[in-house]
Amino acid sequence: MEQSQLILPALIALVLTLAGTPLLIPVLRRIRAGQSIREDGPSSHLVKSGTPTMGGIVLIGTVVIASLVTIGPDKELIIVLAVFVAFGFLGFLDDFVKVARRRSLGLTVGQKLLIQIVIAAGLALYHVSASDSGTMIAIPFLGRALDFGWFAVPFLIFVVVAMANSVNLTDGLDGLAAGVTFFVAAFFAAVAVALSVLPAGVYSIALAGACLGFLFYNRHPARIFMGDTGSMALGGGLAAVAIIMEVELLLPVVGAVYVAEALSVLLQVLYFKKTNGKRLFRMAPLHHHFELSGWKESKVVAVFWIATVVFCGLGWLALAK
């Protein structure tokens, strides 16, 4: 597999996103698909209320088109795209409820979790039964794989669900989720080249191109948000492509920012219950803690982007072992 094979999907996704997003913005404004802001969030975010959301529709469409135009309906590509679109549709339903009811909460946690598990279970069962590795899971830095046996299916389900929700929690500042995902997707494109897995490489670089194009409108001050439509799709898609390439345990390494965001929420809740109302962080997810500590939004985003680049370098070292 040559790097030149990834130029076309990257360009298609980039151009389509740059062209499609400004066409979607007025449509979302017309139907009043605006973002509802948490009342307990940073006061500086109140000005974002009403900003068009569900921009993930463009991300999903451009990635699907760029991938299929490049190599056609390859089986592994279809599997990744199916998971990507399914999580995006779930996010769309969540966004739709928020918009229709004019509130910051959409589907219930139980509803989302159930659908996420069903989608993830389909991917996990396919991978265990159809892949060469079966129940073997590669361990980063050790250069070996362990047989997870029957535990492989629930483990892979956990990976997919955790990734989807972690990216969703990361999507709280202008350009944060799109920028972090650009670097992570580009990393997986490089991994695909190294492992000669064309479908994964095409999907990953198309996702990177789409995120880069979306950042043109989503950077601070954002003209559009990706919403759960986008963040759910990004998380599910990244998990799917990592599993297809059998490097799923690189996700917490290169996606350390996602992990930190999710852990901050979990630790905040546990600490709050354990100490009868005290807070471990000023606010969770973690990006809000830094905002309330005096950091400008653009600084938080830049630092998290840089951290992602560093962790992607660490992930490459882990892959080389």
Residue 114 parent element (H or E): helix 109-130
Residue 168 amino acid letter: N
What is the pLDDT averaged over residues 121-145? 90
The confidence band for 42, taking pLDDT boundaries of 50, 70 and 90, is low
- Based on its alpha-carbon atoms, the radius of gyration of the chain, rounded to whole angstroms, reads 19
Biggest CA–CA distance in the chain, Å, is 57
What is the pLDDT averaged over residues 32-42? 67
Q: Would you state the pLDDT for residue 104?
A: 61
Label residue 149 exposed, middle or buried (CB < 10 Å: 0-12, 13-18, 19+).
exposed
pTM for this entry: 0.94
Range in 66-80, 109-123, 135-149, 278-292 with the lowest mean pLDDT: 135-149
Q: Would you state the pLDDT for residue 102?
A: 66
Taking the C-alpha atoms of residue 258 and residue 256, their distance in angstroms, rounded to an integer, is: 5
Residue 241 parent element (H or E): helix 227-244
Q: Would you state the pLDDT for residue 31?
A: 85
Mean pLDDT score across all residues of the chain: 92
Looking at the structure of the chain, the number of domains it has is 1
Q: Would you state the pLDDT for residue 133?
A: 82
pLDDT at 90 over 90: yes
Model pLDDT for residues 151-206, shown as the tens digit of each residue: 999 999 999 999 999 999 999 999 999 999 999 999 999 999 999 999 999 999 99
Q: Which among 252, 255, 247, 253 is positioned nearest to 137, based on CA atoms?
A: 247
Model pLDDT for residues 191-249, shown as the tens digit of each residue: 999 999 999 999 999 999 999 999 999 999 999 999 999 999 999 999 999 999 999 99
Residue range of the domain that includes 75: 3-320
**265, two tokens:** 């929420």
Taking the C-alpha atoms of residue 41 and residue 37, their distance in angstroms, rounded to an integer, is: 7
